[in-house]
């Protein structure tokens, strides 16, 4: 395939779209000629290329819409979760049935956090799949613990102010007791 030059202008430049058309025109004509030489009719080739272009545009638009819908669903889920499982004011814990659970380290970048959450989910599936095999269960539970430690949910606290860790404590038995008792009032 023929070399296609890169952009000659910034993304905001009014001629950028025209420059893109000029950059791919020769390769486009070459592809069309190859198809005609292979035995396809010129109208068939032009229609096929137009359809491929349309499908590609629809795919891009669909991907953008899907991403928007996913972001909206995540936002709504977080809102539901924050109402159902409130976060402490310092952001260190969330509360489930009155018990504090340490949150992931907020200093983790998104890619690392996502990878560790994927590892955690895989390890939890391994625990479920290992029923009846004590060695496999122990190994899978170790993987769960490794992922939770890497996320900051277990092990040494991720905060550095020297405050004690109240992970898994009942909120009413911690310095968060007053906050927990008064939330929603």
Confirm if 154 and 83 have CB atoms less than 8 A apart: no
152 with 108: CB under 8 angstroms? yes
Report yes or no: 179 and 88 within 8 Å, Cβ to Cβ: yes
What stretches of the chain adopt beta strand conformation (E)?
93-96, 99-102
Q: Has this prediction a pTM greater than 0.85? A: no
Are 150 and 116 in contact by the 8 Å Cβ rule? The answer is yes
How far apart are the C-alpha atoms of 161 and 159, rounded to whole Å? 6
Tell me: the pLDDT tens digits for 50-109? 999 888 888 888 888 888 888 888 888 877 766 778 899 999 999 999 999 999 999 999
Least confident window among 2-16, 48-62, 134-148: 2-16
Q: What whole-number distance in Å separates Cα of residue 166 and Cα of residue 94?
A: 11
Domain ranges for the chain: 16-77, 86-182
């Amino acid at each position: 395939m023929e070399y296609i030059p890169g952009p000659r202008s910034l993304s905001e430049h009014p001629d950028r779209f025209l420059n893109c058309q000029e950059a791919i025109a020769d390769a486009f004509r070459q592809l069309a000629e190859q198809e005609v030489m292979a035995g396809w009719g010129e109208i068939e080739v032009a229609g096929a290329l137009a359809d491929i272009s349309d499908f590609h545009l629809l795919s891009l638009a669909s991907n953008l819409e899907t991403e928007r819908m996913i972001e909206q669903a995540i936002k709504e889920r977080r809102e539901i979760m924050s109402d159902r499982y409130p976060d402490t004011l310092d952001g260190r814990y969330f509360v489930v049935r009155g018990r504090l659970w340490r949150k992931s380290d907020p200093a983790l970048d998104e890619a690392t956090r996502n990878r560790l959450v994927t590892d955690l989910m895989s390890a939890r599936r391994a625990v479920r799949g290992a029923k009846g095999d004590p060695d496999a269960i122990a190994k899978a539970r170790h993987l769960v613990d490794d992922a939770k430690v890497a996320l900051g949910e277990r092990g040494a606290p991720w905060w550095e102010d020297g405050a004690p860790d109240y992970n898994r404590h009942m909120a009413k038995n911690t310095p968060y007791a007053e906050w927990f008792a008064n939330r929603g009032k």
